[in-house]
Structure 1
Amino acid sequence: MPRFAYTGYGAQGAQQGELEAPNASAAADALQAQGIVPTRIEPVAAAGASTEVGSAWMEGLQRWLRRGIDPVDLLLFARQLHTLLKAGVPILRALAGLTESATSQRLRETLQAVRLSLESGVELSRSFAQHPSVFDSFFVAMVRVGEMTGRLDEIFLRLYHHMSFEQFMRQQVKSALRYPMFVVIAMVVAIGVINVLVIPAFAGVFKNLGAELPLATRILLATSNFTLQYGWAIVAAAVAAFLVFRQWVATEAGRLAFDRFKLRLPIAGPIVLKAQLARLSRSLALALRSGVSIEQALVVVAQTCDNLHIARKVEGMRGAIERGESLLRAAIQAQVFTPVVLQMIAVGEETGAVDDLMQEVADLYSNDVEYELKTLGQQIEPILIVFLGVLVLILALGVFLPIWDLGRASLRGR
């Protein structure tokens, strides 16, 4: 019998492990029976099964080569499914129609697999969970909430708005970082060209001067010589460092440390924190409005956090509430929420409108993040200008000081 590796949430928080089951659906059923909500179920390759490993590798390569699903396609899917369900169309017929009209080949195949899974008696949320590369844990968790409350059409509309917000934020980040990234790349290319082509051309002239060269010139010559001799080693070390960093971030401890570090960055840290709080508040409001208990809502919220450090804090809040603490005290103990969020939670608990006030927090921080992202280029621009000025000054002093000394010496000779 095949084995499956899983991650999920249970009474003790995040859990992971392996179990034997005939297929992924049976594995999900077994985990649900144990009180574990699965977020990822993947088959584990048997040791020594080289054919299976090879076929799995080829399958993965084919999936990578195929065109992925555009976020816009997923947005349209959620909106269209909401419209069809609201009009009273059965879910199987709705999925059949959306499968036919899907423009993305991968989305069409995924929806066909979801429909077949539904026809075999598997719940909709579990059918979506079998395709984690398409439907993330938050999407699956919210569909599960819709199944429990009987309001799937509302859930898909709220998922549409949520994904629209996420896509807007990604576009804002790309737009804000486009100019700084262009400047940084241009600077790196310029430094490389100067070290490889310009400085070596002046090296012979400087050598014939016969005088002691200025410090800036000696630094440029040493840097150029090092680049010419060990350039391949620099490139290899940079690639190796990048691969090691990716491997480290892929581990749980590495991702936790890196996510904690991102919150401490001088300019980007506050923006990352506000973006995470906006997403967290929006998810919490969405879950509470769907009729989910606060404990289960926090499980859903933890799954939506891109930042593992904040996700762990939210999981700790769930444990504190299960021990009898109020939401406000649990949020204070988490030590990741701003005073504005804490005040909103306090008022929400007093008035019984936590969902409405969390939506207010989400809108507030969304606007703040949007404004800060628009002005991010203006904040980074002075730093880039100073760095460029220092670079130009070093190059000017290193290249022109010896020539200036040579010209002054020749004038004295006359």
Structure 2
Amino acid sequence: MATKQNLNRQQLQSFQWQGVDNKGNKQSGELSALSLNLAKAQLRHQGITPHKVRRKSRPLFGLGEKQATSKDIMLFTRQLSTMIRAGIPLIQSLNIVAEGLENPAMQRIVVTIRNEVADGNMLSSGLRKQGKHFDKLFCNLIEAGEQAGALETMLDRVALYQEKTERLQAKVKKALYYPIAVLTVGIIVTLILLLKVVPQFESLFKGFNAELPWITQVVINTSVFVEHYWWSIIIALMSVSLILVSSYKKSEDFAYKLDALSLKLPIIGNILKKSTIARFSRTLSTTFSAGVPLVESMTSSAGAADNRVYRKVIFQARDSIATGQQLNFALKASHRFPAVVTQMVLIGEESGSLDCMLDKVADLYEQEVDDAVENMTTLLEPMVISFLGVLVSGMVLAMYLPMFKMGSLF
């Protein structure tokens, strides 16, 4: 029994190998196994004669090593759900999932959880010890599934929740990254013109001994300033960015004001608002349908909200519910949720199908976020072309305008 337990606690290791197949062709690659001997045995089982098998070295201090991401967690949950639903025991399911993961960091996390389960602990207990990667909501839902004897159902529900949340976050990131990418391209083009093109014209204009048009002089002065103080500009931008990021993390009041400002931005603000409502509705539906009391479900939903303005509103609504108010009334009193949301919640409360109606609200707003992002992308494309066109043509015109004037004098 002790030997079996020790085997269960062994860590999966990554190995690099070289060998030949049954036809004598050279082969190489990587695989995961519990030991060097098992790695060689696995290769022979696949028809490979190993010539060189060595343990893959880990980066010094973990530098350059890929970390576990939310997508890795989502993939782990879906695969584990599939294994459990197929009737495979939990420890064996964790072993299979761990062996199939490509990210070594995530692989080690799953093996650590497997070891906890092999020691007789609950799956939720092992997940809680990996709190950096599995949040309180995730652990509470898995624990509820274990206590109800419906772990496979809960894993499937959590996996579905993660997949929809991940898709929603991807859409919001697309909405945020697109304008940033446009601005970055514009800055790079401007810098190339100012640092490489304009100085060539400046030396030419010095031989004219004539007064330059004001727009040409502005461009030349800007070029000289950037050329001499580019390092100061970079330091200033980096300092401002670091100050903003640090203040956002350390000052709750500053972060709240910044989140409130983000909701007022044109186009982007509407997308952030709808995505927050969708995330709140999806989280509340998932937790409430799992049997978690409404007040506790509201706490989890507030924690899942990305925006501090809505987080504060949800906590206030939770406190109102604790005093006996209905959810729809508490949400309506906040003036942050559209009428369609409060009406659908009201119907759900009266019909006893609150979780179902919240799911419909989440689906509705996820679709609206998707449509808003697509519309924004469609509108921005001609604006990007126009912006870059005006920028480049304006600078080119500024450089050639003195030549046109000189030509008119002859």
**8 Å CA contact retained: 2:194, 2:222:** yes
Counterpart residue number, 2:405: 405
**Inter-partner Cα distance in structure 1 for 2:337 and 2:300:** 18
- SS of the aligned residue for 2:206 comes to helix
**1:355 is the counterpart of 2:331:** no
Counterpart residue number, 1:52: none
CA displacement at 1:289 relative to structure 2: 1.3
**Aligned amino acid, residue 213 of structure 2:** P
CA displacement at 1:391 relative to structure 2: 2.0
**8 Å CA contact retained: 2:284, 2:358:** yes
Change (3 A) 1:61 1:179: same
Q: TM-score, normalised by structure 1?
A: 0.77
More displaced stretch, 71-80 vs 318-327: 71-80
**Runs of 4+, deviation exceeding 6 Å:** none
Counterpart residue number, 1:302: 302
- SS of the aligned residue for 1:65 comes to coil
**8 Å CA contact retained: 1:345, 1:358:** yes
Unaligned ranges ≥5, structure 2:
1-57
CA displacement at 1:212 relative to structure 2: 2.4
**8 Å CA contact retained: 2:332, 2:339:** no
CA displacement at 1:380 relative to structure 2: 2.0
**Inter-partner Cα distance in structure 1 for 2:383 and 2:192:** 23
Counterpart residue number, 1:273: 273
Change (3 A) 1:103 1:195: closer
**Aligned amino acid, residue 188 of structure 1:** I
**Inter-partner Cα distance in structure 1 for 2:301 and 2:169:** 19
CA displacement at 1:93 relative to structure 2: 4.1
**Aligned amino acid, residue 198 of structure 2:** I
**8 Å CA contact retained: 2:172, 2:272:** no
Q: Deviations over 1:242-264 (max 9, x none)?
A: 22222122225243232222211
**Inter-partner Cα distance in structure 2 for 1:192 and 1:365:** 40
Counterpart residue number, 1:112: 111
Unaligned ranges ≥5, structure 1:
1-58
Counterpart residue number, 2:34: none
Counterpart residue number, 1:168: 167
Q: Deviations over 1:81-105 (max 9, x none)?
A: 2233334544344334433443332
Counterpart residue number, 1:204: 203
Q: TM-score, normalised by structure 2?
A: 0.78
**Inter-partner Cα distance in structure 2 for 1:362 and 1:197:** 51
CA displacement at 1:79 relative to structure 2: 2.1
Alignment of 1:228-377 (within 5 A): 228-253=227-252, 254-377=254-377
Change (3 A) 1:235 1:316: same
CA displacement at 1:144 relative to structure 2: 3.3
Counterpart residue number, 1:94: 93
**Aligned amino acid, residue 392 of structure 1:** V
**8 Å CA contact retained: 2:175, 2:376:** yes
CA displacement at 1:341 relative to structure 2: 0.7
More displaced stretch, 195-204 vs 205-214: 205-214
Q: Deviations over 1:165-204 (max 9, x none)?
A: 2332344456566765554333212111111121111112
**Aligned amino acid, residue 330 of structure 2:** A
**8 Å CA contact retained: 2:285, 2:359:** yes
Alignment of 1:180-199 (within 5 A): 181-199=180-198
**Aligned amino acid, residue 75 of structure 1:** M
Structural RMSD (CA): 2.6
- SS of the aligned residue for 1:66 comes to coil
CA displacement at 1:312 relative to structure 2: 2.2
**Aligned amino acid, residue 322 of structure 1:** A
More displaced stretch, 232-241 vs 115-124: 115-124
**1:157 is the counterpart of 2:159:** no
**Inter-partner Cα distance in structure 1 for 2:351 and 2:192:** 64
Change (3 A) 1:257 1:131: farther
**Aligned amino acid, residue 94 of structure 2:** L
Counterpart residue number, 1:127: 126
- SS of the aligned residue for 2:207 comes to helix
Counterpart residue number, 2:225: 226
Change (3 A) 1:122 1:241: farther
Counterpart residue number, 2:66: 67
Q: Deviations over 1:290-336 (max 9, x none)?
A: 12211111112122222232222212211111122211121123332
**Inter-partner Cα distance in structure 2 for 1:95 and 1:252:** 41
**Aligned amino acid, residue 212 of structure 1:** E
**8 Å CA contact retained: 1:172, 1:374:** no
Counterpart residue number, 1:145: 144
**1:217 is the counterpart of 2:216:** yes
**8 Å CA contact retained: 1:180, 1:377:** no
**Percent of aligned positions with the same letter in both sequences?**
29
Change (3 A) 1:140 1:271: same
Change (3 A) 1:206 1:106: same
